[in-house]
Amino acid sequence: MAGLLAMIVVVGLAGSMAVALRSARENRVQQTATAVALDEMEAVRSLEWAQLAMSSVDGGAPLLTAAGTAVDGAAAGLPRDEPLMVAEAGAVEPFTLRTVEGVTYTVWRYVTLLDYQSRGLVLEVVWDMGEVTHHHLTATIITRATAEQTVIGGG
């Protein structure tokens, strides 16, 4: 009887450990996705204003409107659809793949035209864990002043 009780306790502990280890791995992968998004954001922020545009558009990209000319505001958590900024001098590719610790992340990049002085950057990082697809979405605004590193100061 004591052996049976000990076996039940060991099986229960093993199950709990498996769940804890899986959860820790999922958290680590989520943190890596966040770091990948931040790296991508900083790379785009380092571009000159003229380069701060998409080089092309991938018609199969998620988050695009049906016409493929704007980021779907509802899908991206934005207040409205935002038109894509695509230019010949654009240096932002529509997506890139990054592999970290055996996990491949697809980073979808969208540069949007907000107004003459500001552009939006929307990043969606997508990865698979088992049969589940995960997403990390982030967005920011880049102004012409910050892109050109304008310093405003007193005399």
pLDDT digits (tens, 9 = 90+) for 100-135: 999 999 999 999 999 989 999 999 999 998 889 999
DSSP state of 73: H
In this prediction, residues 7-27 reach a mean pLDDT of 73
Q: HEC string of 10-57?
A: HHHHHHHHHHHHHHHHHHHHHHHHHHHHHHHHHHHHCCCHHHCCECCC
Amino acid 151: pLDDT: 45
Amino acid 119: pLDDT: 96
pLDDT digits (tens, 9 = 90+) for 41-99: 999 999 999 999 999 999 999 999 999 999 999 999 999 999 999 999 999 999 999 99
Q: How far apart are CA 87 and CA 69, in angstroms?
A: 13
Q: How far apart are CA 144 and CA 49, in angstroms?
A: 6
Compute the radius of gyration of the chain from its Cα atoms.
22
Residue that the structure tokens 């991938």 belong to: 58
By the 8 A CB rule, do 69 and 83 touch?
Answer: yes
Amino acid 18: pLDDT: 67
- Of 120 and 22, the structure prediction assigns the larger pLDDT to 120
Domain coordinates of the chain in residue numbers?
Answer: 2-147
Structure token pair of residue 65: 């409107």
- Is pTM beyond 0.95 here? no
Amino acid 130: pLDDT: 82
